A and B are shown apart, each in its own frame.
Chain A
Amino acid sequence: MTIINVSNLKKAYGANVVLKGLDFQAQEGEIIGVIGKNGAGKSTFLEILMTIKQYDAGTVFVFDEDIKALSTNRLEQVRKQISVVLQPTQFYQTLKVQELLRLFKAYYKSPIDIETIIADFKLQPHRKKHFDKLSGGWKQIVSLAIAFLSQPKLLILDEPTTGLDPHMRNILWTYITDYNERTGGTVILTTHNMDEIELYCDKVMLIDNGLNEIFDTTEGILASGYTSVNAFYLEKVSI
């Protein structure tokens, strides 16, 4: 089943044309990594998929719905099936971690027990800390915990592992892959860590000069003669 279908997507900020006709598809259960240098338009692309950013031309279908033609109510229904981790991660600063989880549990009407989430994400020592007192890494973990509260069909992560130590990265990826295997949910993420792409992603899309220069399976890229996704990236993308 096709979860996302993007065709000839264009987006500019004034004179700065970021996306110049991008095509993209995501099927149910896929983990897709979106890569490209800083300012390539990765976050813009993800925010369009999240339905929170306007675009200039092209078509974007999410769950078979043309997001440009949706009513506010229908858009809310689509958003219910999407969960996100934004960059930078921000929530109400003065709420404690456990309060944030309770609030978002109410937003998503989630059946998941808060205590389970706290235990799963090892948030016990931080549950009574205010969100703004957490380190960047723990903010990311809380953000991911909240994202999983909604049991989404589509998970969109904007640089989710930035600032995380290897253990945290490992925990985070364990959750992402487990979620993917258990629910068949689709994951789309951006990252600058090519090892993560190679280890965990089914497909890779390289955005360069506003276009999806490469959109292929990870195996396909490695089979074309590159020793690693990192080597592929370094060759394809100039500074």
Chain B
Amino acid sequence: MLATQLKYDLLMFSRELFYLVFTIVVPPVTYIFMGQLFGDQTYAGNLSYAQTYTPSYILLITFTTVFFAFGFDQVTHRTTGVEKRIRLSPVSKSTLLLSSIIRSVIITSFGYLFVYAIGMLLYDLQFHALNFITAYGFFIVLNAVLLVIASVIYSFFNEVKSALVFSIVIFQVVIFTGGFAFPISMMPKFIQIIADFNPLYHMNNLFIAVWNDRLIVDSGALISICYISCLVIAALIILHFSNKRQI
């Protein structure tokens, strides 16, 4: 059953132009474009563009996939009545959830490899097997974190329109305050303050550190880990109560 559900989940994703553009097209194109502009610069920690922005754009693909194809999809199904019809079918909630999670992992992993390949081809990104495996493992953890947060956020929406507006606005906010466009230290003060509250900013910093084998558990990393952990715990508590059976 899981294989069948997954097959159709992937098929549905591939047919949604909106999802494809925001997940598979926009982040890699932006990665290439920014690389052409700033590829020769050196970034925090004496890292190259590829070392800094390859993990960033992989994370961006993960964010867009999880928020658009997982979260936004939930709202669409809930508001159009699809969720109600599926709920009346003898397919377990866990099968549907697991299929959604695997779908997200497959799509984001594709994005991971895609951006990685672009980095190697265009920006002299080096491949180190052990580092690749460590970074991929951490990427899966970030995937799970985003899935939990997206599930909670989109559970509050009862209209597709408002969810769509939210998704587009949050995409912009994440781009500018997550460190995906320019280094946050170069941004105005108010952007830096907003960035501190943006979990993607913290995830991005951690992912860059893991990617480059430079994760040191200092106060900055601890704050990031604690902040993300608190958000996940809060999200899980909300999910627990909202998922309680209604009858």
Contact = CB atoms under 8 A, between A and B. Distances in A.
Contacts of B245: 72, 75
A99 B247 CA distance: 31
B12 interface: yes
Contact of A86 (B1, B4, B84, B247): B84
Contacts of A89: 85
Interface string A77-111: 00110101010111111110001001110111000
Contact of B80 (A53, A82, A90, A107): A90
A219 interface: no
Contacts of B84: 52, 86, 90
Nearest to B93: A72
B45 interface: no
A72 B5 CA distance: 21
Interface residues of B, number: 22
Interface in B28-85: 80-82, 84-85
B74 to A, nearest CB: 13
A104 B136 CA distance: 35
A94 B16 contact: yes
B85 A54 contact: no
Contacts of B81: 86, 88, 90
A76 B88 contact: no
Nearest to A108: B90
Interface in B152-182: none
A102 B4 CA distance: 9
B175 to A, nearest CB: 27
Nearest to B80: A90
B87 interface: yes
B15 A94 contact: yes
Interface string B214-242: 00000000000000000000000000000
A76 B5 CA distance: 18
Interface of B: 1, 4-5, 8, 11-12, 15-16, 80-82, 84-85, 87-92, 245-247
Given A75-B245, A99-B8, 4 more contacts: A68-B247, A76-B92, A94-B11, A94-B15
